[in-house]
């Protein structure tokens, strides 16, 4: 049940992301922005 819900949420997010940008270039930019956010979060969580 949890796996189905997670898959459905991921699918919904993907569809919303694709609909949110009108071009492939826009989708690429959105993907890069998401990657940068993940990278920043990972850098902040590293022990110093």
Cα-Cα-Cα-Cα torsion 36, 37, 39, 43, nearest 10 degrees, comes to 130
pLDDT at 27 (0 to 100): 75
What is the residue-level pLDDT of the chain in tens, covering all 48 positions?
Answer: 777 888 888 888 777 766 665 667 777 888 899 899 989 888 888 887
Decide: 6 and 14 in contact? Cβ < 8 Å: no
pLDDT at 22 (0 to 100): 64
3-state secondary structure of 48: coil
3-state secondary structure of 47: coil
User: Which H or E element spans position 24?
Assistant: helix 24-45
Q: How far is residue 6's CA from residue 24's CA, in Å, rounded to a whole number?
A: 25
């Amino acid at each position: 049940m949890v796996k189905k819900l997670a898959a459905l949420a991921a699918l919904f997010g993907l569809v919303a992301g694709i609909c949110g940008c009108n071009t492939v270039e826009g989708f690429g930019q959105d993907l890069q922005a998401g990657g940068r956010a993940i990278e920043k979060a990972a850098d902040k969580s590293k022990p110093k």
